[in-house]
Amino acid sequence: MTHIPFKHSMVKGGSMAASSACPASPTRRGSCTLSYSNSSSAGSTESFPSDTSCGDSESVIDSSPDDLDYIPTDGGLATEVPPHTGKKTVLVTGAAGFIGSWVADTLLARGDDVVIVDEVNSYYDVRTKRSNVAMLLEKYGPNRVKFFEGDLCDAPFITRIFETEGVEWVVHMAARAGVRPSIEDPFVYVHSNVEATTRLLELSRLHGVKSFVFASSSSVYGGSQKEVFSEKDVVDFPVSPYAATKKSCELMAHTYSHLYGLNIAGLRFFTVYGPRGRPDMAPYKFIDLVARGQEIMQFGDGSTSRDYTYISDIVDGVVRSLDRPAGYQIYNLGNGSPVSLSSFIKLVEKSVGTPAKIRVCPEQPGDVPRTCADISKARAMLGYNPSVAFADGIDKTVGWYQNRAAMNAAAAAVADNADDVIAEEEPLTVELLSLCTTQAAAGRARSMSCASASALDMDFCDSILPKAMMSQQQQQQQQQQLSATAADGGVNLERASRTMSYAY
């Protein structure tokens, strides 16, 4: 386990940026597999695309600076970056969150090493975030994953990471999200989004970062009445503090690329959804409420629409942009097929198998009526090609949700059984769940990732991080002790593990 606490010693400094030259050619990347099952499609598997050929066969680009929107640096183009041959060490901020954890997972799956920086704030349940980090550590090991917890605006903290970890590639996914909360507290959004991004840009300049990718948002398009949003559109009129901070980040990134020759890609995400999704976002929230028979709030008449984009498509675009540094670029990453709110609710009802209880509410300040991405630039320059239709993506997400709910129920059953025979002060639920995630506990059952285990018992993620620092001998001794204790209590660990094992 490599979990670096907030405060640690400072060591040597880094180097300055390299000279200017043309960007590298695109290269091939690996793949990541997501398994899920639900009542309608058990055992299905989706793989993140591994082919990274650029664009459609009809797409032809003149590679002149004007056509590619390069930002000249002292008369030249962008900082030269060698092709991706072998592993990178990539700093991924926000990797405890939804998109960031999938980006880190995909980079690690293809062979890169990842340095995670996340403040693990309480915008939503921190145990969910910690479980994502625990899953990555369990899956890839502490030699390939390092986790630093702290504020990106803390200069000594983030500077030490750049100085000690040899960071040359940055994927900045950390941000304070949410349109409506930004109206209530704009200052925290300026701090978490604008200040943090500026701090990372400055350190990237000082340490010769080869490619810097950051999360922008489709919210920068504001209340545009255009049918389709293009990167060439004027976006000077945001309608929420959140959107204003994202536009500010784009401007600051442009400035750093112009002044210092940094390769920077700003990615305007269009309503991302899928497994590990944020619980405050409509896809997860509506699935959860409909499944539990609770009321959902529909803001407006249901005619508003969003360009929902499945997580694997988004991550594919993120990694492609990292591998194709090209001066300063802005890319739309969406699906190109908006779905109305009323249609969205109907699809959730169909996939869950339960009618929704709907309460119609007034439209909310700061919300935009429609989003739809023009993804032609990302197709041409990155080879980006979203492939998951919304109905299929909802089915996949519901399948993940149902597995998660089933594991919660299984965990509760294990805990209830164990509580009958174990002293109340012993953390049995946590430890039994930890035990069930290892092959040693149930040799005939599959090993289960920490992310799945966290779904069984959210307290698990609070224990797995310090547990990973135990020696192997200590863990074996603890497992033997717990196995004996569980056997005395009549808990069938093999059956529990077989029931709860789940490939995330």
> Which positions are catalytic?
242
Residues 6 or more apart from 17 whose CB is under 8 A from it?
79, 205, 206, 208, 209, 260, 261, 262
**What is the enclosing helix (H) or strand (E) of 262?**
none
Q: How many CB atoms lie within 10 A of CB 53?
A: 10
Report yes or no: 342 and 315 within 8 Å, Cβ to Cβ: no
Q: In 3D, which of 265, 230, 214, 222 has the Cα closest to residue 372? A: 230
- In the three-class reduction of DSSP (H, G, I as helix; E, B as strand; rest coil), residue 219 is classed as helix
Length of the chain: 504
Structure tokens at 120: 């693990």
CA distances to 114, 118, 325, 500 from 101, rounded to whole Å, are 11, 11, 22, 22
Integer distance in angstroms from the first to the last C-alpha of the chain?
20
Total H helices, total E strands in the chain: 18, 16
Of 321, 338, 102, 81, nearest to 218 by C-alpha is: 338
Give dist(CA 132, CA 421) in Å, integer: 32
